[in-house]
Each structure stands twice: as C-alpha cells, then as structure tokens.
Structure 1
Amino acid sequence: MSEHETRALVGRYFEAFNAADSEAMLALLAEDVAHDINQGGREIGLEKFRWFLGMMARHYREQLSDIAIMVAEGGGRAAAEFTVRGTYLATAEGLPEAKGQNYTLPAGIFFDVDDGRISRVTTYYNLQDWIEQVSAG
C-alpha cells in the first residue's frame, strides 16, 4: 500500500472506533491480526479481536481525539498518538470499582499493514495513570 492508502486505512479504523462500529473496525483487519493488548499478552485472529471489542464496550465508553497518524516510508507500518476520553461503565476484573468515572489520558497505537488490511494493532497507554484517575473520581 502507498503511504497515502495506509494513512486512509488507519483513519478509517479511528472513525469506526469513534462511531462504536466494531464491524467496520473488524472489516479493516487481516484474518490473522496480531493484537498486543496494553500491558497484556498477544492475541491472534479476528474472533479474539471481536471478543476484545465486546468486552471493552461493556466496561468503557471512549472517544479518541487529537489523533496524529504517522506512516512509515512504503506504507507498511503506521503509528498514531491520540487522547482517550472515556467513562468507566462496569467494573473490569482486577481493576478498581466502576462508578461512571470519567478519564482522559494520552495513548498510542502501532500498526502493521499487509495486503490492504491492518495485520497488527499494538496499543500503549499508562495504566497507572488510568487507575489513579478512576480511583480518585
């Protein structure tokens, strides 16, 4: 893919995220997508990604803003930095109790792109910052 096409693909990923359209997100991913979960393991495949999106929707309502997409020469890799603005809806296992707390934190995602699809999604944010925000509010 060209750099322009990769930028557009990643842009569509974020548009689908902000629309809470998991099916549109999944349509952009390779069948064997590698998903590196922040401070967690790696999961492989669309069905595991679908499960993850469902779990996230149960626990959090989030919007991403201030999105800056950067694409490597040749279009095979991209990265994005953004701000997460969210609400903690339901208590997630091993995390503080959810009481509808709002949070804002910087985050980033690294992407690999192969054959017109996103083949890797690696997410990073400061979990301790998030815990402190929801514990205080």
Structure 2
Amino acid sequence: MRDETEALIEAYYAAFNKADWEAMLALLSEDVRHDINQSETQTGKPAFRAFMAEMQRCYAERLENIQILSDKTATRAAATYVVHGRYLTTAEGLPEAKGQSYVLPGGAFFEVAGGRITRVTNYYNLQDWLDQVSA
C-alpha cells in the first residue's frame, strides 16, 4: 500500500511538472482539502482548479529533487522538493513581476483515501521567495 501511495504522489508531481492540470485534478478526491502556503484552506476540485489557473497565469515552475515518504498506514505522505521558477505576472498583494527567477525549497503533506489525494498542504518560505523576487 505504501508503494501505491508514493506512486500516487509521484504521478501528482509528474503532472505538475508537465503542466497537465487535468491529470493532476484526476488524482484528487472531489472534496480535496487544499491548505495554501501561509494562506487559506480551500475545499473541492473547482477551488483547486481555480488555484492552479492562477498559478499558471503568474508562475512557470518545475520541481526537482522530489523525495516522497509515506507512513505505514499509507494514508499520509510527505514530499520535499526544490522549486525552480519564474515570476511571470504580478499576483495580487505581491511584488511586481518582471520575469524574476527563483529557487526555493518546499514541501507538502498529503492525506490519501480510496486511491485519491484528499488533502494537500503546501509549505515554502514566503519571505525567502519575496527576497528573491524583490532583489
């Protein structure tokens, strides 16, 4: 079961790196809980789809050095990675976008049930990102 959970998370990140949002969404439960880094919690695929559309509008990112671990029950997993990105379009409340590049370590926590991801909690150091795009 742990192998299946880890393969599910690997598929999620493979879809992210291909910008295949529909493939990503297919791996989520209908009522997925999405804890946005240092922000709000959203629920459901429609909210996740809207979030990803805004991400695609503002950023071009790929994740490297992805490491995935799962617990012995295969219902929880965690991942660490390094984000390599470009800030394309100014996001509301953030500094002006000028095509700045950034490299940022990050991580995520997942809950899994019925072969789908039911929770995604993302984390990265927002101040580090702000420092990089404001330099």
Whole-angstrom CA distance in 1 between matches of 2:128 and 2:27: 30
Supply the distance in 1 between the matched residues of 2:130 and 2:16 (Cα, whole angstroms). Answer: 22
Distance, in Å, in 2 between the alignment partners of 1:82 and 1:103 is 14
- C-alpha separation in 2, matches of 1:125 and 1:8: 23
Note the aligned Cα RMSD (angstroms). Answer: 0.3
Paired with 1:65 and 1:72, the residues of 2 have a C-alpha distance of 22
Q: Does 1:14 align with 2:17?
A: no
Within-5 A mapping of 1:113-128: 113-128=112-127
Query: What is the rounded CA distance, in whole Å, between the counterparts of 2:73 and 2:43 in structure 1?
Result: 25
Write the distance in 1 (CA, Å) between the matches of 2:52 and 2:32: 14
Q: TM-score, normalised by structure 1?
A: 0.98
The match for 1:48 is 47
Q: Aligned residue for 1:109? A: 108
Q: Give, in angstroms, the shift of residue 74 of structure 1.
A: 1.5
Q: Give the aligned residue type for 2:86.
A: T
Residue by residue over 1:90-133, the C-alpha shift from the partner in whole angstroms, topping out at 9 and shown as x without a partner, is 00011000000000010000000011100000000000000000
Kindly report which structure 2 residues correspond to 1:73-112, keeping only aligned pairs within 5 A, or say none: 73-112=72-111
Sequence identity, in percent? 59
Query: Where does the alignment leave 5 or more consecutive residues of structure 2 unmatched?
Result: none
CA displacement, residues 36-60 of structure 1 (integer Å, 9 cap, x when unaligned): 0000010000000000000000000
* Structure 1: segments with no counterpart, 5+ residues: none
Q: With the length of structure 2 as denominator, give the TM-score of the two structures.
A: 0.99
CA distance in 2, matches of 1:106, 1:123: 11
